[in-house]
Structure 1
Amino acid sequence: MILPFVREGKTGSIQVIVERVEDPSAIGQTAEARDFPCLTARIDYPARGYGALFGWVQLVRSTDGASAGAEFEMDPFSLFTDTGSPYCYFGVTPTLFDSPARHTRVPMTWLAHTFLAWTPMAESIEPHVIPLVGFSWGFSIDRTETVAIPPARPLTPTDWTTHLPYLTKQHPAWTFAPVLGPAPGA
């Protein structure tokens, strides 16, 4: 799936690939990852350097999560959970890679809402997340231990809006644009 976006008047896109893991060692995973999904989301954008800084915000609703699947929760990169940042990846056109797997195969569902965003670098404003485009992806395991991987799908502006109260609560030092897509005048 290819999703277009506009940032500061420049058009870019993300290529979203969700595939079944056939060889876990090829992606740095353990054997338990076989048959689970693997996500790679690549950014194509014409700017360079600071003009191409982006971040990925990912929230997950999982029946084996803290809320038992009732709510979406932050899905931070495990090495940076103490940074206070809403981003799981951040950098110059960073590729998002994720490969959720489980050691045991019990019935469950796992759904991610993933957003490409950026943060203006002006020193005069607080850390601010401006989401550009989003998509959902995930998997489920049935009682026969079969892992089902539905196709990724684009998210709507409403999907972003529903996450705002949670994001604001989890990251009080940050502000979040109220709409998915380019900021007014951008």
Structure 2
Amino acid sequence: MELPFVLNGVSGVVRVDHRRNSDPASVGCQPDTVDYPICTATIERPFRGYDSLMGWVQLVRSDDNVSGGERFEMDPLAFLGDQSHPYCWLGLNPTLFDAPSRPGRIDMDWMAHSFLCVPDDVGSGLEARPMLGFSWGFVARGGEITLVPPVQLGDADWDQHLDTLRGKHPGWHFSPGLADLS
């Protein structure tokens, strides 16, 4: 999947690679993660320093999250602990990488909503302004893993997460809809 965007007058594209994890060791995963998905979203855009500062905000709905799959929740990077910002990846043209799995191949539905955002200072605090988003995931049944391919997300998809984002990160501002940052 390719998702074009323009940021500060410079065109770019996000290339989403969603595939089965056929070689867990090559991506730092345990052997029992074979067949689960790997999602990598890379940004292709001329390097422009501060103009390329972006971050990925990812929310996940899974049968084993706090709500039991009823709602999307912030996707934590466990090795970073609780963060005061909403990003799972942040940097200059940052790459999103995720390789979810569960021990024992329990039956579950797992869906991520991943949004490429630009951090901004809005005078009254910091803002995460989303430019684009996509969903992706997997379904596990009877030990078999079925990949759910990426689909582009829109304004309404971002807006459904506003209460969660604002509740988890009260010091940040989250405007409705995807921003046109061209």
TM-score bracket, shorter-length normalisation? over 0.9
3-state secondary structure, aligned to 1:159: helix
Residue 125 (structure 2) pairs with residue 126 (structure 1): yes
Shift of 1:84: 1.0
Aligned length: 182
Query: CA–CA distance in 2 between the matches of 1:176 and 1:9?
Result: 23
Q: Residue type of the partner of 1:135?
A: F
Structure 1 stretches lacking a partner, 5+ long: none
Question: Corresponding residue for 1:153?
Answer: 151
CA distance 1:124–1:21, shift in 2 (3 Å): same
Identity %: 42
Q: Residue type of the partner of 1:87?
A: Y
TM-score in terms of structure 1 length = 0.93
Question: Corresponding residue for 2:172?
Answer: 174
Question: Corresponding residue for 2:79?
Answer: 79
CA distance 1:178–1:40, shift in 2 (3 Å): same
TM-score in terms of structure 2 length = 0.94
Query: CA–CA distance in 2 between the matches of 1:77 and 1:84?
Result: 13
Alignment of 1:1-40 (within 5 A): 1-40=1-40
3-state secondary structure, aligned to 1:101: coil
Question: Corresponding residue for 1:66?
Answer: 66
The more displaced of 157-166 and 75-84 is: 75-84
Query: CA–CA distance in 1 between the matches of 2:122 and 2:172?
Result: 14
Runs of 4 or more consecutive aligned structure 1 residues displaced over 4 Å after TM superposition: 122-125
Structure 2 stretches lacking a partner, 5+ long: none
CA distance 1:14–1:59, shift in 2 (3 Å): same
Q: Residue type of the partner of 2:156?
A: T
Query: CA–CA distance in 1 between the matches of 2:134 and 2:98?
Result: 14
